[in-house]
């Protein structure tokens, strides 16, 4: 007889009744080959004693096993594993997780075979990140208040039911007002889809605009996750130079004479990673080219809300009268990265298609969070938060740049950014950033190693240094460590 006492471990606190637990264990023993077709099962009396449960429970388990078609009762002989079960092999060893060369059980093409680099960001006490907000400033208490208020107010609780793939109607309306007030961007709520952060906007736009081998123009340096998204859908990335005035639109114009371009991805405000702003003249020329060549402009304006010198440039979308611009923005960036709310604006038919695709991806967003954000826009909490954090970030930028200038003058070249949450820092070529990051981590400071910003045509020895998430004493401590390890 098999060692049932150790094979059959039951849990009296589990949410499944005892007889079902016993039945399920027998099924596993049968399917993994421990019990073979035609094997006899122990009598209910014997098993009950062995594993210390009531005999009736064992009987119920056997009845269940028989009714599910795993076993049969033969009169005056006992209960047997069904003789005509498809033959089952002995159990395999556990999944080989370490040896990646082992053949997979099914055939698929891994487009992501590069392992995700382990992220040390949360492992260190201090971190100079790539330009993330300080989540300690996020008005979480106010958000919780709105959550409670919504969850109590609505009888029928529609906010818990399936909703619109375009997102909460309330938030779309509130965003219309907000975008009109802050950006002179006047759209109807039919032209907005609420996304999960700006990343989902980029993904949806890429899926809808690009077919394999289509060309998309991007900056020589560019936001890596946008590049990856365009590459994922099979598009061809055409790199356009970026200089102090942003994307080189004359170069793009020349490119258009030899290549058909489906879309241009641009971050006109503070180009990622180098934070340059595209000049007005180039913006107008880009719009003109888009109209002539019928390409789409994907305008990623994730950073709009952070301007320290009160000079927000109007987005391309606000001055586009031919509907060539797909405008992508984020509230996650302003509030808290893990509360993923962004938006994409475009021609109605495009936004409707995006909503259909979104339906296939994840049906819809979190209506509770969307409605709560809408209420915080309406009652001014969001605006108060923006103003408050803008003021704090400006102080942090100033202090950060002062320290960089006084303490790192020899090794870091940078421009004071007039917006955004990070300083693009060119390090002296002698400095090995990978080693610097490793040494810093040993001393409790996370700092990037510059790898994320490199691509096949951009290889600066630089990185974005985020100042927004560090308060004064943290900043002094963090840059103190960096100074030591350089």
Judged by CB under 8 A, the residue of 7, 46, 50, 85 near its own copies is: 85
Closest to its own copies by CB, 72 vs 432, is: 72
**Rounded to whole angstroms, how far apart are CA atoms 287 and 321?**
9
Q: Which of residues 54, 56, 73, 211 is near its own copies by CB under 8 A?
A: 211
Nearest-approach distance from CB 169 to its own copies, in angstroms: 11
Binding mask 287-326 for its own copies (x = CB under 8 A): -x-xx--xxx-------------xxxxx---xx-xxxx--
Q: Pinpoint the alpha helices (H) of 12-168.
A: 18-31, 44-51, 55-67, 140-153
Q: 43 or 173: whose CB is closer to its own copies?
A: 173
Cβ neighbours of residue 426 closer than 8 Å, sequence gap 6 or more: 412, 413, 414, 460, 461, 462
Strands 71-74 and 78-81, by their bridges, are antiparallel
**Binders of its own copies in range 44-73 (CB under 8 A):** 64, 67-70
Q: Distance between CA 120 and CA 391 in Å, rounded?
A: 29
- To the nearest whole angstrom, how small is the minimum distance from the Cβ of residue 428 to its own copies? 29
Q: Minimum Å distance from CB 204 to its own copies? A: 9
- Closest by alpha carbon to 240, among 267, 210, 214? 267
Query: In this chain, which stretch among 44-52, 207-215, 392-400, 431-439 interacts with its own copies, using CB under 8 A?
Result: 207-215
The answer to whether 465 touches 478, Cβ cutoff 8 Å, is no
Question: For residues 249 and 285, is the Cβ–Cβ distance under 8 A?
Answer: yes
Least Å from the CB of residue 485 to its own copies: 23
Instruction: Give the nearer residue to its own copies in terms of CB position, either 203 or 414.
Output: 203
Residue 448 · residue 464 · CB < 8 Å: yes
Selected from 43, 142, 189, 279, the binder of its own copies by CB under 8 A is 279
**Do 455 and 222 meet the contact criterion of CB atoms below 8 Å apart?**
yes
Count of other CB atoms within 10 angstroms of residue 258: 6
Return the residues of window 215-274 that contact its own copies according to CB under 8 A. 225, 228-229, 232, 262-263
Question: How big is the chain, counted in residues?
Answer: 486
Q: Which residues of 404-422 are buried (b: 16+ CB within 10 A; e: fewer)?
A: beeebeebbebeebbbbbb
Please, which of residues 329-388 interact with its own copies by CB under 8 A? 336-340, 347-350, 352-353, 355-357, 359-369, 383, 386-387
Output 294 or 435, the one with its CB closest to its own copies.
294
List the one residue from 2, 5, 16, 56 that touches its own copies (CB under 8 A): 16
Binding positions for its own copies, 389-428, rule CB under 8 A: none
Stretch that binds its own copies, among 195-203, 408-416, 435-443, 476-484 (CB under 8 A): 195-203
Q: Does 80 bind its own copies (CB under 8 A)?
A: no
Q: Which is nearer to its own copies, 138 or 486 (CB)?
A: 138
CB 430 to its own copies: min, Å = 31
Cβ-based nearer residue to its own copies, 180 or 428: 180
Closest CB to its own copies among 363 and 442? 363
Q: Which residues contact 428 (CB under 8 A, 6 or more apart)?
A: 410, 411, 412, 413, 461
Question: Residues in contact with its own copies, total (CB under 8 A)?
Answer: 131
The residues facing 219 across adjacent strands are 240
User: Site residues for its own copies, window 86-145 (CB under 8 A)?
Assistant: 86, 88-89, 91-92, 95, 97, 100, 104-113, 115-116, 121-122, 132, 135-136, 138, 140-141, 144
CA angle 377/381/383 to nearest 5° reads 70
On whether the CB atoms of residues 227 and 192 are closer than 8 A, the answer is: no
Give the helix ranges, DSSP H, for 408-462: 433-442
CB 227 within 8 A of CB 380: no
Site for its own copies in 140-169 (CB under 8 A): 140-141, 144, 147-148, 151, 156-163, 165
Rounded to whole angstroms, the Cα distance separating 229 from 59 reads 57
Selected range binding its own copies among 43-51, 279-287, 420-428, 429-437, rule: CB under 8 A: 279-287
């Amino acid at each position: 007889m098999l060692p049932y006492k150790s094979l059959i471990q039951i849990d009296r606190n589990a949410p499944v009744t005892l007889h079902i637990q016993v039945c399920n264990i027998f099924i596993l023993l049968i399917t993994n080959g421990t019990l073979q077709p035609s094997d006899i099962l122990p009598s209910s009396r014997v098993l009950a004693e062995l594993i210390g449960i009531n005999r009736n429970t064992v009987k119920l388990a056997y009845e269940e096993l028989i009714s599910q078609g795993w076993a049969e009762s033969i009169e005056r002989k006992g209960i047997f594993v069904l003789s005509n079960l498809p033959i089952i092999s002995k159990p395999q060893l556990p999944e080989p997780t370490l040896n990646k060369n082992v053949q997979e059980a099914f055939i698929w093409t891994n487009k992501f075979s590069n392992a995700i680099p382990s992220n040390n960001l949360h492992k260190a006490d201090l971190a100079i990140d790539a330009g993330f907000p300080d989540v300690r400033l996020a008005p979480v208490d106010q958000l919780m208040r709105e959550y409670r208020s919504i969850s109590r107010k609505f009888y029928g609780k529609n906010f818990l039911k399936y909703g619109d793939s375009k997102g909460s109607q309330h938030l779309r309306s509130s965003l219309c007002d907000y975008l009109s007030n802050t950006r002179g961007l006047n759209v109807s709520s039919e032209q907005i889809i609420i996304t999960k952060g700006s990343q989902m906007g980029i993904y949806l736009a890429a899926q809808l605009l690009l077919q394999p081998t289509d060309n998309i123009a991007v900056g020589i340096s560019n936001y890596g996750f946008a590049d990856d998204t365009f590459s994922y859908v099979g598009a061809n990335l055409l790199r356009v130079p970026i200089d102090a005035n942003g994307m080189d639109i004359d170069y793009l114009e020349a490119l258009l004479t030899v290549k058909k371009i489906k879309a241009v991805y641009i971050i006109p405000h503070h180009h990622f990673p180098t934070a340059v702003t595209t000049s007005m003249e180039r913006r107008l020329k880009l719009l003109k080219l888009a109209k002539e060549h019928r390409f789409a402009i994907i305008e990623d304006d994730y950073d709009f809300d952070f301007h320290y010198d009160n000079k927000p440039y109007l987005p391309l979308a606000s001055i586009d009268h031919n509907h060539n611009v797909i405008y992508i923005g984020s509230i996650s960036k302003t509030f808290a990265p893990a509360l993923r709310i962004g938006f994409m604006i475009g021609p109605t038919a495009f936004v409707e298609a995006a909503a259909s695709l979104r339906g296939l991806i994840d049906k819809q967003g979190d209506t509770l969070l969307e409605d709560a954000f809408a209420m915080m826009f309406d009652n001014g909490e969001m605006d108060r938060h923006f103003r408050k954090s803008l003021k704090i970030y400006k102080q942090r930028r100033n202090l950060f740049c002062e320290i960089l200038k006084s303490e790192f003058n020899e090794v870091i070249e940078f421009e004071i950014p007039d917006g955004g949450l990070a300083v693009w820092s060119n390090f002296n070529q002698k400095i090995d950033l990978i080693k610097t990051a490793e040494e810093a981590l040993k001393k409790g400071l996370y700092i990037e190693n510059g790898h994320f910003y490199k691509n096949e045509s951009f290889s600066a020895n630089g990185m974005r240094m985020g100042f927004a998430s560090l308060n004064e004493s943290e900043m002094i401590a963090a840059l103190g460590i960096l100074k030591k390890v350089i």
